[in-house]
Amino acid sequence: MSKAIYELVNELPQNNITTLALKSLDKFIPGQWENITNFEEMIRQVTGENDEEMIQKIGDRAVWLFNDKTQGYQNALWLYQTVDKTDYALGAAALANKVGEKIKLLGFLNRLTPNNEKAQAIDLAIKLVVEVVAFCQINGLPGDSISDFVKALGEYEKEALIRMGGLVCFDGLIPFGGDFILQIESTLNNLSGKELSNNSSFSQVSRLIPGDNPAGQLQFIHDSFSAVKGWMTGFVANHSLTRDKLLSSLHNFIEFSEDQFDYVAAFLDMSTNYFEHTGTQSIAKSLISRAMFEV
């Protein structure tokens, strides 16, 4: 990892397609996510500390902890970055100059090919497993601690909650509609280890997914999804989420017709890196919280 954690936070964009997409969720999950892109400001907010010398000590300790490869922070960040990179790079440059004006999706249709349903379902499941494994890496737990993750998930807030909200909304409800859990479950039930190993997202992150082989890793993915589907169902119900409501909120910065929801899902895949963005913030906050007690 070539950059320090403070550099990674300070380089997060304040306003791009990713932040616009995440802000579109604020209507349904109000007041949770603040896009902090300054490491010193993050230290002040997490610790409540105002003494400059103490802020410096906490920051230095956080940097040291992140750089210590015996800890899991770098692995967690790599997972967040990698799971987004498989579909992000295609559109990032082309869309960079579009922030601040409403994007006409029609102009991008010739570059967009909606994922088939199987690929989309696998993508969601792998992102979920990345969240499970990254949580374990950050907290020093064995990588297969699904039960610990599920307990913590009930307490998720701020950028962690908006990240999981993005998973449910952008990768679940928008491409599949209200029965996305059943569709993903069906895909996983009919998936072979060989098919999984041929998936590009899986092949990128497979080295950190528990399981001795693709079949074992598929079982871990299946177990993770089964353990979290109840939370997802509750999240949708508690926030009264529907595909139509989400598309209406996204209309504030994307122009598309009502029959283009499958392209909207592909557009969001192509043009956002919300796992990396919010994951960087989660890791930095975890480091700061730990460093505060160690200085």
Q: Band the pLDDT of 99: cuts 50, 70, 90.
A: low
Q: How confident is the model at residue 93 (pLDDT cuts 50, 70, 90)?
A: very low
| Residues pairing with 103 in the sheet | 254
What's the pLDDT score for residue 111? 66
pLDDT of residue 90: 47
Instruction: Give the Cα separation of 16 and 92 in Å (integer).
Output: 10
Query: What's this model's pTM, rounded to 2 decimal places?
Result: 0.92
Q: Is the model more confident about 76 or about 269?
A: 76
pLDDT on residue 88: 54
7: which DSSP letter?
Answer: H
pLDDT at res. 51: 93
Q: Among the residues of 115-198, which ranges form H helices?
A: 117-138, 146-153, 158-168, 174-176, 180-189, 193-197
Tens-digit pLDDT profile for residues 151-203: 999 999 999 999 999 999 999 999 999 999 999 999 999 999 999 999 888 99
What are the tokens at 8?
């990674």
**pLDDT tens per residue, range 203-252:** 999 999 999 899 999 999 999 999 999 999 999 999 999 999 999 999 88
| Higher-confidence position of 259 and 82 | 82
Give the model confidence (pLDDT) of 35-89 as tens digits: 999 999 999 999 999 999 999 999 999 999 999 999 999 999 999 999 987 655 4
DSSP per-residue codes, 252-294: TTEE--GGGHHHHHHHHHHH--HHHHHHHHHHHHHHHHHHHHH
pLDDT value, residue 288: 97
Q: How far apart are CA 137 and CA 149, in angstroms?
A: 11
Does the structure show a pLDDT above 70 at 278? Answer: yes
CA nearest to 146, candidates 229, 239, 27: 229
What 3-state class would DSSP assign to 240? coil
